Chains A and B, each alone.
Chain A
Amino acid sequence: MKCAIIWAAIVYLSSSQPLLAADTHTQSLPALPEPLPAPEFTLQGEDGETYRLADYRGQVVVLNFWATWCPPCRYEMPSMEGAWQKVKDQGIMILGINVGEDADTIFEFTGSYPLSFPLPMDRDGTVVTSYPVMGLPTTYVVSPEGKVTHRAVGSREWDDPQLLDLLRQMKRGN
């Protein structure tokens, strides 16, 4: 009987679930050991507007580095749009910085993934390398004082109420 249970467990483990983002999400948003000054940037958006980090001083900024071909980036975009709809009037900014692609590619992507928060384009990869990004997606949270305080590597469910509460607390200065 004991062996039967062990073998049932082996069969279960051998057919283990795919390691998809959806399966094992942990809604963690780790704080950096030491806040870092957020490197400034000025980027053209997919919408033709110009986006400067400095323009959002006093707000909490969620800086998401992504690309259309990156599966976990695509995975988290709907929840990021959901988060944007909940916080856009609360002094919280979301900037989805696309790495290395052009406006046509992003426009085509937003046909499948409707996004209304700004999508600045880091066409030559200058901005992504000014942050300590190692892989996509990576998301930083910048405090109202312009310090990078939190980092998430890999996708998250950004419209999770606990994550949104953390951003609101930062905005309030708690």
Chain B
Amino acid sequence: MPATIDRHQKFWRAATLCGGLSMVPSASISATSGISVSTGIDEQARLPFWETSDRGMSLRLVQRLPDQTRGFFEARGFSKARAERIAQSCVFQTVFKNISGAAEPSPLDYNLREWVVAHKGRTQGMKTREDWNREWRENNTPKPARIAFEWALMPTRQRYAPGDYNWGMSMFNLAPGTRFDLTVTWRQHGENRQAVIKGIECAPDIHPTPAELGSR
């Protein structure tokens, strides 16, 4: 890992010296070499998000309720049983962007197969499009459903030019309500970069009433 100290790192160091980092939930902060990590409530989804950003990169994971995922895939031709299987797989809406500007443009490369999910002392990879597609082909899922599924997920590998981004679902293959840490790896500005987002929580499998949804 590069050990460059940039202004972000100086900022967080100063914050630590101010003695206030304990005010920020420990689960939300795990920065490596100037990379920031934060959490909060996504304004649009009104659900928790976890976000990491670096010089030229930003990644936000927003919880998706299992009910939202069930509804989405049932509407696109999946049987109830298969939509249920997807919904129980810890799904996040993901926005990954190359935000490098004109002053310091750089392509950004990533491969989801390099990302590591840590849960209860064990590590595993993410469940990618290709993993799922193998299952769908084996159990003869209708092609229109498979097409929608494939394009709804984050690409397994991608190269973003400055200004490019994707918005898609990420699946972590964990039970609803599970907490996990995610090690995110990417390459930009000629360096391999890494961030650990700690304490991400899969959405619980709740069934809000219309009144509760209205008050969200």
Cβ contact of A16, chosen from B11, B40, B161, B167, cutoff 8 A: B40
Q: Residues of A within 8 Å of B, CB-based: how many?
A: 40
The answer to the question of A152 belonging to the interface, with a C-beta cut-off of 8 Å to chain B, is yes
Cα separation A28 to B148 with both chains bound (whole Å): 27
Q: How far is A67 from B44 in the complex, measured between Cα atoms in Å?
A: 20
A134 and B166 contact, CB distance less than 8 A: yes
Q: Which of B13-21, B81-89, B171-179, B186-194 contacts A (4 or more CB under 8 A)?
A: B13-21
Q: Are B43 and A18 in contact (CB under 8 A)?
A: yes
Which one of B143, B158, B166 has the greatest number of beta carbons of chain A within 10 Å? B166
Given contacts A6-B14, A100-B144, 15 further A-B contacts (CB under 8 A): A3-B20, A6-B11, A15-B40, A19-B58, A25-B163, A26-B99, A26-B162, A27-B163, A70-B167, A124-B147, A125-B150, A135-B167, A152-B163, A153-B164, A154-B163
Query: What residues on A are CB-neighbors of B11 within 8 Å?
Result: 6, 9
Is chain A's interface secondary structure helix, strand, loop, or mixed overall? loop
Contact yes or no, A14 B97, CB < 8 A: no
Residue ranges of A at the interface with B (Cβ–Cβ < 8 Å) = 2-3, 6-7, 9-10, 13-21, 24-28, 30, 67, 69-72, 99-100, 123-125, 128, 134-136, 151-154, 156
Which listed residue, B28, B76, B151, touches A135 by the CB 8 Å rule?
B151
Contacting residue for B167 out of A15, A30, A71, A152, CB 8 A: A71
B136 to chain A, nearest CB (A): 13
Choose from A15, A70, A153 the contact partner of B158 (Cβ within 8 Å): A153
Q: How many residues of B contact A (CB 8 A)?
A: 45
Kindly state the separation between the CA atoms of A17 and B39 in the bound complex, as whole angstroms.
Answer: 11
A110 to chain B, nearest CB (A): 18
A30–chain B nearest beta-carbon distance, Å: 4
Q: Which residues of B contact A9 (CB under 8 A)?
A: 11
Interface flag for B154 (CB, 8 Å):
yes
Q: How far, in angstroms, from A97 to B158 measured CA to CA in the complex?
A: 21
Q: Is B116 part of the binding interface, using a Cβ–Cβ cutoff of 8 Å?
A: no
User: In the complex the two chains form, is B164's CB within 8 Å of A6's CB?
Assistant: no
Interface pair B38/A18, CB less than 8 Å apart = no
Interface string of B42-58 (1 = CB under 8 A from A): 11100001010000001
Contact between chains at A154 and B40 (CB < 8 Å): no
